[in-house]
Chain A
C-alpha cells in the first residue's frame, strides 16, 4: 500500500513528529511504500538543521534525514509555513536577504500542491497533529 504522512505538530513540544517517525519505520518494515512526508504548520520545525537536543534525546530532524537516505523518502516542507517560521533553504535565504539558511539535508521546500498530489496518488494519508 502507498502511504503519505502529514505532520503538523512541532517536534519536542508535541509527539507528532516522533510518532510519525516510528509509524513510517513500521510502514516501511512491513513492505509498504511512502510516497511523501509533508511537514506543515508547526511541523516545519522538524526540517531545521540547527536542532541541538540533549544527547540522551532523539535528534528528530537528523532521524528524518537518516530515514530519507535509507529509503529515498521525499521530505517536503511547506514553503509558506516554513519561511514565516524561519526555516529557510539557500534560495529563500537569498530572496529574503537573511544571514543564513537552516533547512536540514534531504528536506525540500515546496507548496501545498505537494500535499494534495500526495493525497491523490496515495492509498492512505495519515496526519500527525499537535
Chain B
C-alpha cells in the first residue's frame, strides 16, 4: 500500500443494467477503498436508476446490483453525490433512494470535480 493519498471521484452515467458500467464502477470503488484512498461517487444521467431499491435483475438473467451497492456502506464509502437534474428529469424523488446521498446542481458538480486528484468515468 502506498503512503500517498489521492482523492478519487468515480462518475457514473449509465443505467444499472444494459452494460457492465455500473458493476465495473463499483468494483473499482471497492478497490480504491481497499487502498484507503479518499473516494466520492457521483451519479448522473441514467446512473441515478442504479440507486433505486428492489431491483428484480434475475428476470433478465443478471445479478442484482443492490448487493454491491450495499457493500459501499460496509466499506465506509459514504460520499455519494447525485445530480438533482437527473432525478427531476426521470421523476425520481430523493426519498425513493434509501442510501445516504447528497444532491448537487451543476455548479455543485463542477466544484466536486474540481476538488479531486483523479476522476474516473463509467
List residues of chain A with CB under 8 Å of any chain B CB: 6, 8, 40-42, 80-81, 111-113, 115-117, 119-122, 124-125, 127, 129-130
| B8 located at the interface, meaning its Cβ lies under 8 Å from any Cβ of chain A in the complex | yes
> A120 contacts B31, CB within 8 Å?
no
B2, B8, B117, B121: which contacts A129 (Cβ < 8 A)?
A: B121
Chain B residues within 8 Å of A, Cβ to Cβ: 2, 4-6, 8, 19-21, 24, 27-28, 31-32, 34-35, 37, 117-122
Answer whether A116 and B35 are a contact pair too, CB < 8 Å, given A41-B20, A80-B27: yes
Partner of B4, one of A6, A111, A121, A127: A121
Interchain CB contact under 8 A, A112 and B27: yes
Across-interface contacts of B122 in A (CB, < 8 A): 8, 129
For B2, the chain A residues whose CB sits under 8 A away are 117, 120-121
User: Judging by beta carbons under 8 Å apart, are A116 and B37 in contact?
Assistant: yes
Q: Which residues of B contact A127 (CB under 8 A)?
A: 119-121
Task: Show 29 A/B contacts (Cβ-Cβ < 8 Å), sorted by A.
Answer: A6-B120, A8-B21, A8-B24, A8-B122, A40-B24, A41-B20, A81-B20, A81-B24, A111-B31, A112-B31, A113-B31, A115-B28, A116-B8, A116-B32, A117-B35, A119-B6, A119-B8, A119-B37, A119-B117, A120-B2, A120-B4, A120-B37, A122-B118, A125-B118, A125-B120, A127-B119, A127-B120, A129-B121, A130-B19
A41: contacting residue among B5, B24, B35, B117, CB under 8 A: B24
- With a cutoff of 8 Å between Cβ atoms, the chain A residues found around residue B27 in the complex are 80, 112
Most buried by B among A121, A122, A129: A129
A118 to chain B, nearest CB (A): 9
Which of chain A's residues have a CB closer than 8 A to the CB of B24? 8, 40-41, 81
The answer to whether A113 and B35 have CB atoms under 8 Å apart is yes
CB-CB under 8 A from A40, the residues of chain B are 24, 28
A41 → B minimal CB distance (Å): 5
Q: How far is the CB of A92 from chain B (nearest CB, A)?
A: 18
- Chain A residues contacting B35 (CB-CB under 8 Å) are 113, 116-117, 120
Residues of A within 8 A of B6 (CB): 119-120
Cross-interface CB contact of B118 among A42, A80, A119, cutoff 8 Å? A119
Known contacts A8-B24, A40-B24, A41-B24: does B31 contact A116 (CB below 8 Å)? yes
